[in-house]
Amino acid sequence: MSSITKELLNDLYWKRWSSTREIAKIIGKSQATVRKMMLRASIPLRSSRNWLQTKFDPQMLKTLYWKRKMTISQIAEKFGVSSWTIHQRMIKFNIPRRKIGEANLKQQKSPFSGDPAEIAYLLGLRAGDLSARWKGKRVRVEVCTSHPAMLELFKNIFNKHSHIGMCPEYKKQLRVFMWRAFADLDASFSFLIEKSETIKEDILSNEDLFLAFLAGYADAEGSIIVGPNRDRIVFYFRICSEDFGLLKNIYKKLCEMSYHPRLILDKEKGTNDGFSRLNKDYWRLELGRKNEVIRLVQQLPTKHSEKKRKRALMLEIKNQTHWLKARDKVLSIKAEIKREVKECMQRAAHTYHKKHTYLDI
């Protein structure tokens, strides 16, 4: 075992309760090699037959929680169980909890910068997919998605302010697996709690702030579309939503900025959309003049990587008119995004099932 001694392996596996996978990363070997080394050193593995007794050993929980300073959610993830299960075992074994101040010491919540453009963008995102609520004295923000681009966007925005948590979920109504990403933010993010039905006047009156808001809203609810109309290429910027007040504000502001959008009733209240009946009218705001679509997507400070790729494609082929010349590039990006979403959903499904079955430690 060269410099990797039996004492080291035993300490990592039985005293620190590292998994063989974690040990492999520490010592730079494969998991299979670690198992062979432990076998040669006569270090017994934690057996599946004694799994229930082993994984909830009180000394192990104390070590992970107090010595390694792991959170309850991190311990739960390590063993593929819910945080509630770990919480209940700690009560059963009389393991005291760390004080709130100590528990949060490793992950201090930095306050919001107060930048007006960032406020406008976040309010746009909040008007779409982002949810926000009070969680104690913190602001819990969440997003549930199957698009890795949205998960990346969420992390890039909030990881400088707080730890990012992720867990898989099964959406029974849609019959798909998705990821729920969440972060507990400083109270200075309280402006996200209320979901507005209209755009604030100070944002509407400032073109740069309006574009920041529209970028956030479009990153959540919008689409940049490149497609064929017979043998010609057409470009669309589109947002579909039940938020008529917001769409009406956007429509009027775009008209003021010399655009020619359309605001159309797409589906009436009570229409079955394939999953349930709509509680409100469903509206579509659309921009279809090629030069105007190009101008708008260039102005928007979008943060969504899928939309950035589509914008780059749009700018690359903007001088082409015939669909056949651009078809392969357009279909390639669509296939790439579809593959990424499928793989993201598969990872969510795999993790979800792993958390509900036996997990090798």
Q: In this structure, are 185 and 249 located in the same domain?
A: no
Q: In this structure, are 262 and 130 located in the same domain?
A: no
307 within a domain of the structure (yes/no): yes
Domain ends where: 164, 192, 220?
192
Query: What region, left, alpha or beta, does residue 94 occupy, with left being phi > 0 and alpha being psi -120 to 50 degrees?
Result: left
353 within a domain of the structure (yes/no): no
Rounding to the nearest 10 degrees, give the CA dihedral for residues 143, 149, 154, 160: 160
- Give the position of tokens 């270090």: 43
Q: In this structure, are 123 and 174 located in the same domain?
A: yes
Distance separating alpha carbons of residues 115 and 222, to the nearest angstrom: 24
Q: Which of 308, 314, 315, 296 is nearest to 251 (CA)?
A: 296
**pTM here?**
0.70
Q: In this structure, are 332 and 205 located in the same domain?
A: yes
Domain ends where: 136, 157, 192?
192
325 within a domain of the structure (yes/no): yes
Q: In this structure, are 89 and 136 located in the same domain?
A: no
CATH code: domain of residue 220: 3.10.28.10
Q: Looking at beta carbons, which pairs linking 48-51 to residues 24 or more positions away fall under 8 Å?
A: 48/358, 48/360, 51/358
Q: Which of 347, 344, 291, 348 is nearest to 321 (CA)?
A: 291
2 φ, ψ to 5°?
Answer: 50, -125
350 within a domain of the structure (yes/no): no
Q: In this structure, are 170 and 235 located in the same domain?
A: no
Q: In this structure, are 234 and 334 located in the same domain?
A: yes
Q: In this structure, are 73 and 137 located in the same domain?
A: no
Rounding to the nearest 10 degrees, give the CA dihedral for residues 115, 116, 122, 125: -150
300: its two tokens: 């928007």
- Give the position of tokens 């039985």: 14
300 within a domain of the structure (yes/no): yes
Rounding to the nearest 10 degrees, give the CA dihedral for residues 155, 161, 166, 169: -90
Q: In this structure, are 228 and 269 located in the same domain?
A: yes
Q: How far is CA 355 from the centre of its chain?
A: 19
357 within a domain of the structure (yes/no): no
Number of folded domains that form the chain: 3
Domain ends where: 192, 216, 237?
192
Q: In this structure, are 269 and 291 located in the same domain?
A: yes
**Domain range spanning residue 277?**
201-343
Q: In this structure, are 268 and 254 located in the same domain?
A: yes
CA–CA distance from 170 to each of 186, 302, 350, 356 (Å)? 29, 29, 11, 12
Q: How far is CA 228 from the centre of its chain?
A: 31
Q: What is the pLDDT along the chain (361 residues), one digit of tens a residue?
A: 456 788 888 878 776 667 787 788 778 788 888 888 888 888 887 654 444 444 567 887 888 888 777 888 777 766 666 666 777 788 878 888 776 545 444 455 688 888 999 999 999 999 998 999 998 889 999 999 999 999 999 999 998 898 888 888 888 877 889 999 999 999 999 999 999 889 999 999 999 999 999 999 999 999 999 999 989 999 999 999 999 999 999 999 999 999 999 999 999 998 887 667 888 999 999 999 999 999 999 999 999 999 999 999 999 999 998 999 999 999 999 999 999 999 999 888 888 877 654 333 3
- Give the position of tokens 């990587």: 305
Q: In this structure, are 160 and 243 located in the same domain?
A: no
Distance separating alpha carbons of residues 337 and 343, to the nearest angstrom: 10
Q: How many helices (H) and strands (E) does the chain have?
A: 16, 8
32: its two tokens: 């299979």
137 within a domain of the structure (yes/no): yes
